[in-house]
Amino acid sequence: MDYIALRKEVMEAGLLDRQYGYYAFKITSTFALLALVVFLLLKTHNFALQLLVAVFFAFVYVQFGMLMHDAGHQQIFNSSWKNNVIGLLTGNLVTGMSTGSWGINHNRHHSSPNDEEDPDIHIPLLAYSEEQALQKKGIARLLAKYQAFYWLPLMAIAGLSVKTNHQVNAARMLLKKKTAAYYSIEVILMIVNTILYFGILFHAMGAWKSLVFFGVHHAVAGLYMGTVFATNHKGMPLLVGKERPDFLRMQVLTTRNVRGNPTVDFWTGGLDYQIEHHLFPTMPRNNLRKAKKVVESFCNKAGVEYYETGFFRSYKEIIGNFHKISSVLRQPALKQA
């Protein structure tokens, strides 16, 4: 009942209305940045400067990922097929990511954040609870002992790993009759992405420099994505057992907001307002800041803890939580065992 009342407030404030002007500007300006990346690649012949372009491209690349995310949540249009088109263009064509495979995984996360069913807390090299840490074996257990130290550098390869995993999943889905038509479009666009990406790079700088560019681009993009997505749930309470709170409390209590301002909003694509996004995943990005006042006030009145912290403070909390969890593996008794 609490969520129904909150949703009514949000709808009456017009915060779920489509924001076509905002997204027209956002999509156009992001494609303009991509055109600038291509121009710089074709006109720059100094390798050091080309690597700076790789860093800039990483920023643009993640901006496209955020548009794919918005389209996947139906935040842009009321029509599903129009959102799908934007998702295919920004995701499959520009980033080479499978929007369909990503969407399936991401929707599972939204339905059960920080829950045993949440795919985002099941990463082989990380432990999100003492129970997970104690279940690790071999090299994974050894690494988990010191996860607080390598978590952030791990983000440098995590982005490419996730991308590759979703590409493989898309290829598998292509073989299923029910999804073959949609995933055939996805796979074709991802192939076009690969041809254009390496075609432009090889033309601009040759083979081995292209591989270095590829590594820098994806490493920086992974780190950037890590700064955005890690702050939202890591270090927040995990839901265990069979009993679950209602939808409002499940989303709010497992989620951390990052204190926003125009710079943080731009850097995170609005995901600094993660509580609002989880409660209203179809809400246009530029309305999340406005919704924060409504949601926070409602939670305070309903006695629901609404947690928000600073951008850099969130990393301190995450790293501290990872270190605390892994301490169970550093106890002398366990070492002897």
Amino acid found at 47: F
| Stretch among 65-74, 85-94, 171-180, 265-274 having the lowest mean pLDDT | 171-180
Q: What is the domain range of residue 23?
A: 2-336
**Count: domains in the chain:** 1
Per-residue pLDDT averaged across 203-211, rounded? Answer: 95
Cβ neighbours, 10 Å, residue 32: 10
φ, ψ for residue 331 (rounded to 5)?
Answer: -75, 140
Mean pLDDT of 130-146: 90
Q: Is the pLDDT of residue 59 over 70?
A: yes
Q: Are 50 and 37 in contact (CB under 8 A)?
A: no
Predicted structure pTM score: 0.93
More confident residue, 119 or 36: 36
